[in-house]
Structure formats: C-alpha cells, structure tokens
Amino acid sequence: MGDSEGSSLSSPLVENLGSDDALSFIKGYGAYGIVGAGLFAILIPVLLSTIFMGKRKARQRGVPVEVGGEPGYAVRNARIPDLAEVPWKGATTMAALFEQSCKKYSRERFLGTRKLISRDFVTASDGRKFEKLHLGEYQWQTYGQVYDRACSFASGLIALGHSEDTRAAIFAETRAEWLTALQGCFRQNITVVTIYASLGEDALIHSLNETQVSTLICDSKQLKKLASITSKLSTVRNVIYFEDDESGTMSDSGISSNWKVSSFSEVEKLGKSSPVLPNFPSKNGIAVIMYTSGSVGQPKGVMITHGNIVATAAGVMSVIPQLGRKDVYLAYLPLSHVLELAAESVMLTAGCSIGYGSPLTLTDTSNKVKKGTKGDASALNPTLMAAVPAILDRVREGVLKKVEEKGGLGKKLFSLGYNRKLSAIEGKWLGAWGLERMLWDVLLFKRIRDILGGKIRFMLCGGAPLSGDTQRFINICMGAPIGQGYGLTETCAGAAFTEPDDTSVGRVGPPLPCCYIKLVSWEEGGYTVSDKPMPRGEIVIGGNSVTAGYFGNQEKTKEVYKVDESGMRWFYTGDIGRFHPDGCLEIIDRKKDIVKLQHGEYISLGKIEAALLSSSYVDNIMVYADPFHTFCVALIVPSHQVLEKWAREAGINYQDFSELCNKAETVREVQRSLSEVAKAAKLDKFETPARIKLLPDPWTPESGLVTAALKIKREQLKSKFKDELQKLYE
Ligand SMILES: *[C@@H]1O[C@H](CO)[C@@H](O)[C@H](O)[C@H]1NC(C)=O
Ligand SMILES: *[C@@H]1O[C@H](CO)[C@@H](O)[C@H](O)[C@H]1NC(C)=O
C-alpha cells in the first residue's frame, strides 16, 4: 500500500534490518547431522505425494461492476457486493469506533511496550560506538485503560487552551502514546497533522505553518531537533512531549520560551482533574492531514477523513481470516505512513493487541539489541506483521547467502526442501503433503520462522511492489501467506489486497470491499481496456476510502480527483495496471515514466530499467529519454566489485574508481553487457540506451537521490545530473 508519491518510509526502517538480521535467520543450520538422517524419512512421502498430482481451480476474486464517471473497465470485490463503509453500524468515525471498541474489549490487552532495563555502548574495532539496549518483557495496557488515558489527554488538550480552529501535529516515532494521543485529538474533533520524519526541516516548517498547527506533539528526540528552528515555527503555542524512560526535564534543551512545554503525563493529569465533554467529529471531518513527499516541490498534505479510515478498516478486516482478539500485531513501521496507520486501525477495530517495537530492535540480532537479550519479535511472538519489500528482499538475500556459504549437503537439502514446498504451494502436490511438510518445517524452516517469534500467520506487505521471487521465498520460509497490498496515501492505503489463499505472485489482489478499481484507457500510451488478453489502462480508484484531496491545493486536487454524477470520488493514480481474468490487479507501469520519442514510439523508462538491472555491472540505473530525439540514454551506478574484477582481468590500469568509470573501454564493456540483457528481455532497439554515463558514487536515501525504500527519484536525479544528461545527447 502507499506506492507512488507517498511511499518513502523513514530510512532507519530499511537500513537497519540489514543482512545481519537476515543472516541470523539461518545461523542454526549447523546441525546438518540430524538433517541427513531425516532425508530418508522424507523420501517416502515425496514418492507418495508424487502419485497424487492435481491442480486447484482458480477462484473468482474480483468481478466487473457498472459504475459512473469516466468509461473504463471497473471491478469490485467478488465476495462483498456492496461497498463497505463501516466495520459495524455506528462506527462512522475513528472517535466513535475507538470508543465502541474499547467498551467491547475493555479487559483485553491492547497496547504493549517494553521497558528499558539498561543502555550500554560498545566500541567497534574501528572506534565507532554503538548503542545496545536491554529491553524487558512487554507490559500491557488494556483497551479500557487506553480509553481512559485518551479521554484524559483529550480533556488536557482543552485545558491547555488548544483553540478550536487550529490543529495538532504528531511528530514522533511509533509508540503507544502516538496512538493514544491521536485518539485523544479525535475525541475533541482536532485534526492531526503527520509528517514523515525523513522529509527534513524545510518540509516540517512548511507543513506546520501551512496547516496552522498550534499544538505539537513529539518525542524527546524530535524535540531536540526542533531547537534550531523554533523561530520559524510561528504558529506553535503548545509542545507536548512523550517521556522516555530516562529523559529528565526538558528545560535545558534550549527551546523557545514562547512555547508552553508539557509532558504527555502532565497533560493527562491536567485532563483527569478537569474533565471536558467530548466533541465528536463527523464522518466527513478531516481526521488526519498526512504529509508525504512529492516528486517535485513542497510535500503535499493529503486530507484523510474519518470516513476514509473506518472504510479501509472495514475493508481490510474482511480479508484477513479469523482476525480477532487472539491476534498480536508487531508495530514498528512509522505511524506517519498510511500503511501503518491503517494497519493499527484495523487491529483496534478487531480487538487485537499491538506490541510496539522498532526496526533497530526487531530481532535478537538487530543492531541495537544487547547480545543475549531478546529482540521485539521473540519477546512478543506476534501473529501478524507488516513489512515493506526492501526489508523482505534483504531477508531473502541474507538467507540465500548463508545457504551458499554452507554449500554441500546443507545447500542441496535446502534447495530440495524449498522446491518441494514450492510445488506444494503452487498446488501441484496433494495427498501425503501434510506429513512431508511437517518434516521440512521441522528440519529447515522452523529456525527461520522462530526469528520472528515463530507464530506469524499472516504478513501484510505494501509501500512498493514486491518481487515475485521474494514473495515466494518468504512464503515458503515463514510458512505464512503474504498479503501484498496496493494503495496510496490518497486512497487511505486500502485499494487492492491479495487474499491469503492466493498463491500466485506479482499481483496485488482484487479490490478491497471499500472501493472499486477502474482501468481507464490511455490511448496515447498504448494501454486500452480492449487490450488482449487482459484489459489495461490507468488505475483509477473510487469509493469510500478515497480521500478529500490536498490541503490548500485546489488546483492539484482537481487534477487528480474527480467526482462522478452519483457523487462518488475517484482518484487517478497515474499507475498503469491490468486485470487478470480472476479479477486480480497487476501493476505494470507508471504513466509519467512513459515518454514518446521523436518518431512516435512510446518507451517505458521503468520497464527498461527493470530489464537492464539484471546486468551484473549495474547497481543502479536511470533511463532518460528526451522527446526531441529518437533514442534514450542512461545514467548508471556500476557495481564496484564486478567492474574492478573485469578491469583486473582485462588488464586495465587506473588510479581510482572514478577514472575507471570514465574510460572508453569501460563504457564499451558495460554497453556490451546492456545490449546482451536488452536482447534477452526482448527490448526494442530504441528501448536500449544508445549512450550511457557511468557514475562512481552510489545513490543513497541520504543524498536524496533514491527514496528510503531505494526507489530512484527521477526529478532529483535529472536535476543533479543535468549536465551529464545533456552531454549524452550532444
Ligand atoms: C507561513 O505562512 C504564511 C501564510 O500563511 C506566510 O506568509 C509565511 O511566510 C509562512 N512562514 C514560513 C516560515 O514559511
Ligand atoms: C469539527 O471541526 C471541523 C473543522 O474544524 C468543523 O468544521 C466541524 O463543524 C466540527 N464538528 C463538530 C461536530 O463540532
């Protein structure tokens, strides 16, 4: 969910679940002796199940539907004919839903947090210092307790003098108080502004000023960051900070004396001693203004209504099987991202418990976890988790690398087990599979599963497209289905969601019950709804989860949102998709990444990049096409290792890597390799970059050239390498 404009997650998320964690996934594989003995036990069921081959029939998951607005090919969820609006009657706003859920589940565990036991620093061999945390077991608040705290906080806000026409902002890492504060604001009809931590100072100043934020709610870490820009935050009056286990008072942090600074618990106390009646919002009231990075210019604030969030919650609830109070969700993605906000709203609706963690403490071997102590997952044993593709990719790479290093019997066994399970998932084996699977799970996959606590039964994945290979891999090794979702901040996450029993890969599932998905022909781009074998076109989303538009930007709102004759809102995503016969959507392209060349051929930059990335020389690539020419060009960050190996073998002399990149021989060699992979991928001649430039420095999220999810940022790259691109066309 949340692809396109609004998809970058804060960078520590992606950075820190690095290969070390992934590697530890498989450390236990030393015990190959036992494994060898098990081999015989496996052979018998293997033979047995071969006899029972069969194929499951595909189920209809989405069906065509008549809708208003621009003509196209529209599909709805096959199981639920009427658009879902609320999870149950009366839960029309997040505030109402919260109150009703808290009453219903009042004694159940709701929010869990780990207490800090100790904080140490270790010094690595290169002199760098690393923080190591020892965290305790989860301590829980019940639904009833959280409700009381949210009510007190809501009253406290009013007692502090938060004025009606202004807004509150939450600028903090994901934690229990985040959700509590959010619900407190909702109870007093206060709109909450959220900002990606990765957006930077200018964006922060812009967003807070644009939305007239008077109450800023943050953690003490963010509060320290604000010290240097206090003078620019002219609308802010109150600052409320979440206490850390060990933070002292905030008086010494050098922040503006114009601000009234209070701690979260002070506000709670204040509210408790002077309770105020709630002021419930309405269905169409704006619950959250979520700032996401735009590809150009200032970030945009997407206005998400209460009705949007409850509709998404209703939609997602109905697709996760048996979701309920027994489920435990591990929360660690940023709540300022729509994927996490939607996921936690779903958990709250279903009465699940939410245990908070962080990307840096997720597993026993995560960077910040003190050796010998537990990571969040093994302390919590979650049944549900959300993830972004970059994390899952790294897990897969890590496990494969470890298997490769082991070599020998271990490697053979892994690949046998993997392939057996793969065929089972693809529906080729029935019969005795149950027994065989148990064996494989015990022998191979249990250890990988245990890294995430051993109880995961469903993973939600969104934020960017997940590769089919990774989806399969995690599926097999974790033994749990992955629900890949598609959606954007503008559609309040929910749009499409893979059903748990769908074992295909590369697709994002049928529309969620809260919306319709329509393909609209884009004639000039060459995608039409009459295409064979599947209808194709721009993805347009309509229904209850489609948000109210961009804050203070009518013009941009009108450009991408349309309201049809029946009053339904439609959002034009700019993504190109196609519908499979069973009603599942596949994302195949991006409208703005398609360029018409001088002779009228359309080329898809993303498609070419995806194809050329398979050259071992290419670490990263951006293809660029000037519409006034007949060919395209490419900027390439070559792989140091592979290129230097080639240079050694070819006897090329060079001082440094940058010189190597500039050599004509080097460029020729990389181009040769590109032509080869282009041919293999059946690219047309005009789709193969005619000229390339090799750039020695990697593109990182810190340099702003790729998103935190490591997707390239075209506009930024274009402007940074303007001269290089121009030279390629000379
Ligand atoms: C804040 O917004 C006002 C308009 O509402 C504008 O005049 C002012 O320059 C902005 N200040 C900053 C620091 O962006
Ligand atoms: C809630 O706030 C919005 C905007 O501040 C306002 O338009 C609306 O009337 C309020 N609703 C209620 C029920 O007070």
* Predicted confidence (pLDDT) at residue 307 exceeds the cutoff of 90: yes
| AA letter at 677 | V
Band (pLDDT 50/70/90 cuts) for residue 32 is: very low
Please indicate whether residue 65, judged by its CB atom, sits closer than 6 Å to ligand 1: no
pLDDT at 450: 87
More reliable by pLDDT, 159 or 703: 159
Q: Which atom of ligand 2 is nearest to the CA of 165?
A: 5
Q: Which atom of ligand 1 is nearest to the CA of 233?
A: 13
More reliable by pLDDT, 263 or 40: 263
* Predicted confidence (pLDDT) at residue 5 exceeds the cutoff of 50: no
Contact (CB, 8 A) for 518 and 82? no
Cα atoms in the 13 Å half-sphere on the side-chain side of 116: 12
Contact (CB, 8 A) for 647 and 656? no
Ligand 1: residue whose CA is nearest its atom 5: 210
CA distance 623 to 605: 6
More reliable by pLDDT, 400 or 108: 108
Ligand 2: residue whose CA is nearest its atom 5: 165
Question: How many Å separate Cα 64 from the centre of its chain?
Answer: 28
- Ligand 2 centre to CA of 183 (Å) is 16
- Taking alpha carbons only, the member of 491, 508, 423, 572 closest to residue 61 is 508
* Predicted confidence (pLDDT) at residue 23 exceeds the cutoff of 60: no
CA distance 204 to 229: 10
Please indicate whether residue 132, judged by its CB atom, sits closer than 6 Å to ligand 1: no
CA distance 336 to 292: 9
Span of 58-62, 172-176, 336-340, 441-445 with lowest mean pLDDT: 441-445
Span of 354-358, 538-542, 560-564, 591-595 with lowest mean pLDDT: 591-595
In this predicted model, what pLDDT tens digit does every residue of 627-662 receive, in sequence order? 888 899 999 999 998 999 999 999 999 999 999 999
pLDDT at 310: 98
pLDDT at 431: 53
Q: What is the mean pLDDT of residues 72-94?
A: 95
* Predicted confidence (pLDDT) at residue 502 exceeds the cutoff of 80: yes
- Taking alpha carbons only, the member of 660, 608, 607, 664 closest to residue 638 is 660
In this predicted model, what pLDDT tens digit does every residue of 131-144 receive, in sequence order? 999 999 999 999 99
In this predicted model, what pLDDT tens digit does every residue of 165-184 receive, in sequence order? 789 999 999 999 999 999 99
Ligand 1: residue whose CA is nearest its atom 8: 209
CA distance 531 to 526: 9
Band (pLDDT 50/70/90 cuts) for residue 529 is: very high
Q: What is the pTM of this model?
A: 0.82
CA distance 479 to 456: 8
- Ligand 1 centre to CA of 209 (Å) is 6
Residue of 201, 202, 204, 209 to test ligand 1 pocket, by largest number of atoms within 8 Å of CB: 209
Span of 136-140, 376-380, 599-603 with lowest mean pLDDT: 599-603
At residue 563, φ and ψ (nearest 5 deg) are -110, 130
Ligand 1: residue whose CA is nearest its atom 13: 232
Band (pLDDT 50/70/90 cuts) for residue 433 is: low
More reliable by pLDDT, 155 or 597: 155
pLDDT at 57: 60
Please indicate whether residue 272, judged by its CB atom, sits closer than 6 Å to ligand 1: no
Give me the domains of the chain, ranges plus CATH numbers: 94-105+143-356 (3.40.50.980), 597-728 (3.30.300.30)
Q: What is the mean pLDDT of residues 294-304?
A: 79
Band (pLDDT 50/70/90 cuts) for residue 479 is: confident
- Ligand 1 centre to CA of 98 (Å) is 35
Q: What is the mean pLDDT of residues 205-217?
A: 94
Please indicate whether residue 209, judged by its CB atom, sits closer than 6 Å to ligand 1: yes
* Burial profile 304-343: b = 16 or more Cβ within 10 angstroms, e = fewer: bbbbbbbbbbbbbbbbbeebeeebbbbbbbbbbbbbbbbb
Mean pLDDT across the chain: 86
Contacts of 361 (CB under 8 A, 6+ apart): 133, 135, 368, 369, 375, 376
- Ligand 1 centre to CA of 204 (Å) is 12
* Predicted confidence (pLDDT) at residue 670 exceeds the cutoff of 70: yes
- Ligand 2 centre to CA of 552 (Å) is 17
- Ligand 1 centre to CA of 37 (Å) is 72
pLDDT at 428: 59
* Predicted confidence (pLDDT) at residue 471 exceeds the cutoff of 90: no
* Predicted confidence (pLDDT) at residue 711 exceeds the cutoff of 80: no
Which residues' Cβ are closer than 6 Å to ligand 2? Answer: 189, 279, 281-282, 285
Sign of CA dihedral 267, 273, 277, 278: positive
More reliable by pLDDT, 543 or 227: 543
- Ligand 2 centre to CA of 611 (Å) is 51
CA distance 542 to 569: 5
* Predicted confidence (pLDDT) at residue 563 exceeds the cutoff of 90: yes
